[in-house]
Structure 1
Amino acid sequence: MIPLTALSIVTRFAATGEIGPVRCGASLNDIAETFGEPHDLGRVFRSNQWPRRYAYGDVELCVCQCRTVTMVSVSTARDPMELPDPEIDALAVFPDRMTYSQVAAALDDAGCRWAAQPDEQPDRREVRTDPAGIALVFRVDEGEAVLEQAGNWTNAHLCLSS
């Protein structure tokens, strides 16, 4: 088995919206069966107990009170970064920094459709994948665009617990 890299994990996420069991619409209980209990980052809003934020390394989840994941955000700004590795069902540390050209080539190689978003700012680029709808945000640093964050959210969740 060839070990995964941060680029391969992010590419799969961009193409499918999933990192193993981590995806919008998944049950936090199912994810915890694979990766263990997440780190509780607390409430999203001060006035309400729910939704709450949880993390597995550098992957942050927003979770409804029914324990359904409504947002997945992968922060790639730290070096090294800690990401869930679905091949070993554990968190793994990756020293990779990913550039725009590396990510674009990996998406193309994976057959993932993507498009640069038109409202680019001089120090920022954004790409959105299709059909997974993952937004990949790059920060331009000294002329090179480096991936800073990848994520998506769902508006389709109807909580039956509220």
Structure 2
Amino acid sequence: MRKYKLVLLIGGYISAFIIGGYTYGIVTKAQMVNAGDVLTEESREKFQSMTKEMEENFKPDNYEELLKGNDNILTVPDTILGPQQEDITKSIFGRQKNYIYKNKTNGTIVLLSISSRLGSQHQQWQHSIYYSNARYNSLDNELKEYYSDIYPSINVYQYSFEKKDIA
């Protein structure tokens, strides 16, 4: 009888731990969404719809889009980015899309980035984009079809952060 009670007691503790953890996860997620800490499903769908519309309808004459759905994200130290990179619902990786357009006729390069905000009350990595001559105008990689000696040999990196006011 004693062994039965011990097994029942241990089983009860394990069940309570699992149920408690699951409930905590649901409540925490709901609180984060209500506080604006994450990109809601509705916001993510709007963002994806907007980027799809962009990819289908924004086609400037004489320009080629290089990324075609591939990522063009810069990384920064954890001390700057913080916990945003751990979860796609609040990560810049889930709420930013970059485009790089090149015009072989006149040598113009256009960098375009679209991102969604979590809300002004949050410290967040808003956006980043880069253009590297070695990456996007080289005969030595998979993007060599976009190479032309008309383009300047440049490297451009842009970061945008939002920081909460600390009073």
TM-score category (smaller protein): under 0.3
Structure with more of its chain in helix, by fraction? 2
Q: Which has the larger radius of gyration?
A: 2
More strand by share: 1
TM-score by length of 1: 0.23
Give TM-score scaled by structure 2 length: 0.23
